[in-house]
Amino acid sequence: MSQYVKTTALSINRYDYSETSQVVKFFSPELGAFNALAKGAKRDKNTIVCPLDILHLYEITFIRKPSECLNILTGSEIINPFLPIRQDIEKFNASSRMLLLINELLPFHAKNSEVFELCLNALANICLGSKPQIDLLYFELHLLRLLGHVPQISSCVMCNEPLETQFARTNFSASSGGILCRDCAGKIPEKLEAPTGVFTVLDTMLNKRITKFYRIVLAGGLHPETRRILNYYFSYVIEKPVCNYA
């Protein structure tokens, strides 16, 4: 049975449905991810909804249909267009990566207010800060935590031996779900090696609840290695390669 619904939602994807209409994928704290058909959204004189784009926070009203049918968008108002992100290519790339991961990892209609809050906080920090690559790392780690996919990075996933900080490099296995000590690494064929400092940084970001996390500065050379490990791990979790963001 159809019902009218009003909610705050982040637009995370869209595609053309016809010459005049679009389907927009929204993410709401109460409703999770869902699609809505915006009839006539591409017309110049559309009076039902405001211009629709991804990476906007809206207040929307829609007719909620049964799960096998498209919801019908009946009204929308922009709350936050995150303009600073659109004026900086690095900020835009980091934010686009966030949307990609949300699209891939969040099932439809799965309520998750914590992920919604994490996403809005990350976008706010990207808007205000100067290190979007750090904002993105923080978002990715805590997205994994909230969705139950966070890897074990403070101790060996096989034997629980603490991270061996006395060694320059440490092995990480996506299929095993975390780092490997030197004794266990030889037993696992599928793994990547990275500077041990990468896992120290990730563990710090995962366990230190800080609002202004863009103040964290990665030592020279660590950020590319950190990105390589996360790309490798997300590709395993999503089961397909993810776009690179350096």
CB atoms within 10 A of CB 159: 10
pLDDT value for 16: 86
Token pair of 219, please?
Answer: 């030592």
CA distance 150 to 192: 17
Its pTM stands at 0.89
Residues of the chain with pLDDT below 70 are: 1-2, 42, 44-50, 68, 209-220, 243-246
pLDDT value for 45: 67
pLDDT value for 44: 66
pLDDT value for 51: 72
Contacts 24+ apart (CB under 8 A), 170-174: 170/194, 170/195, 170/196, 170/198, 170/199, 172/199, 172/229, 172/232, 172/233, 174/232, 174/233, 174/235, 174/236, 174/237
pLDDT value for 235: 94
pLDDT value for 47: 59
For 70-108, give one letter per residue: b (16+ CB within 10 A) or e.
Answer: ebbbbebeeeeebeebeeeeebbbbbebbbbbbeebbee
pLDDT value for 88: 96
pLDDT value for 214: 45
Q: For residue range 75-92, what is the model confidence (pLDDT) as tens digits?
A: 999 999 999 999 999 999
For 193-225, give one letter per residue: b (16+ CB within 10 A) or e.
Answer: ebbbbbbbbbbebbeeeeeebbebebeeebbeb
CA distance 60 to 75: 6
pLDDT value for 172: 98
Dihedral sign computed on CA atoms, order 164, 165, 171, 176: positive
